[in-house]
Amino acid sequence: MPIIGPVKRKDLIKYLRLLGFEGPYSGGKHQFMMRKQLRITIPNPHVSDISSGADIPRDQWEKL
Protein backbone atom coordinates (compact mmCIF):
# COMPACT_ATOMS: atom_id res chain seq x y z
CA MET A 1 0.00 0.00 0.00
CA PRO A 2 1.40 3.44 -0.90
CA ILE A 3 2.51 5.75 1.91
CA ILE A 4 0.21 8.63 2.86
CA GLY A 5 1.93 11.95 2.23
CA PRO A 6 2.38 14.94 4.54
CA VAL A 7 -0.70 16.80 5.79
CA LYS A 8 -1.32 20.21 7.33
CA ARG A 9 -2.09 20.18 11.08
CA LYS A 10 -5.48 21.83 10.48
CA ASP A 11 -6.40 19.11 7.96
CA LEU A 12 -5.15 16.33 10.28
CA ILE A 13 -7.48 17.57 13.02
CA LYS A 14 -10.37 17.80 10.53
CA TYR A 15 -9.80 14.24 9.28
CA LEU A 16 -9.49 12.82 12.80
CA ARG A 17 -12.80 14.47 13.71
CA LEU A 18 -14.38 12.79 10.67
CA LEU A 19 -13.09 9.49 12.06
CA GLY A 20 -14.91 10.15 15.35
CA PHE A 21 -12.17 11.76 17.44
CA GLU A 22 -12.97 14.65 19.79
CA GLY A 23 -10.70 17.55 20.65
CA PRO A 24 -7.99 18.69 20.47
CA TYR A 25 -7.56 19.03 24.22
CA SER A 26 -4.64 20.61 26.04
CA GLY A 27 -2.38 18.31 28.01
CA GLY A 28 1.29 18.38 28.83
CA LYS A 29 3.54 19.58 26.03
CA HIS A 30 1.15 18.58 23.22
CA GLN A 31 -2.55 18.65 22.50
CA PHE A 32 -4.37 15.35 22.03
CA MET A 33 -7.57 13.94 20.54
CA MET A 34 -9.72 11.13 21.95
CA ARG A 35 -12.02 8.45 20.53
CA LYS A 36 -13.38 6.18 23.27
CA GLN A 37 -10.24 4.91 25.05
CA LEU A 38 -7.85 5.81 22.18
CA ARG A 39 -5.73 8.92 22.72
CA ILE A 40 -3.72 10.43 19.84
CA THR A 41 -1.12 13.13 20.50
CA ILE A 42 -1.29 16.00 18.00
CA PRO A 43 2.01 17.63 17.01
CA ASN A 44 2.45 21.28 17.88
CA PRO A 45 1.98 23.78 15.02
CA HIS A 46 4.86 23.72 12.52
CA VAL A 47 5.85 25.80 9.56
CA SER A 48 5.79 22.70 7.34
CA ASP A 49 3.33 19.81 6.92
CA ILE A 50 3.13 16.84 9.29
CA SER A 51 4.18 13.43 7.98
CA SER A 52 1.83 10.51 8.55
CA GLY A 53 2.63 7.84 11.11
CA ALA A 54 -0.93 6.68 11.74
CA ASP A 55 -2.17 3.14 11.18
CA ILE A 56 -5.15 4.25 9.11
CA PRO A 57 -5.61 2.40 5.80
CA ARG A 58 -4.98 4.62 2.79
CA ASP A 59 -8.38 3.89 1.23
CA GLN A 60 -10.17 4.94 4.44
CA TRP A 61 -8.00 8.09 4.69
CA GLU A 62 -8.73 9.08 1.08
CA LYS A 63 -12.50 8.75 1.61
CA LEU A 64 -12.32 11.61 4.10
pLDDT in tens, the chain (64 residues): 556 677 888 888 998 999 999 999 997 888 899 999 999 888 877 666 556 566 667 777 777 6
Q: Are 52 and 6 in contact (CB under 8 A)?
A: yes
What are the helix (H) ranges across 19-64? 58-63
18 domain-assigned: yes
- Asked if residue 2 is part of any domain, the answer here is no
Q: What range does the domain containing 45 cover?
A: 9-63
Query: Model-level pTM?
Result: 0.63
Rounded CA separation 53/16 (Å): 13
**Domain membership flag for residue 1:** no
Q: How many domains does the chain have?
A: 1
* pLDDT attached to residue 32: 92
In a domain, 37, yes or no: yes
> Has residue 4 been placed in a domain?
no
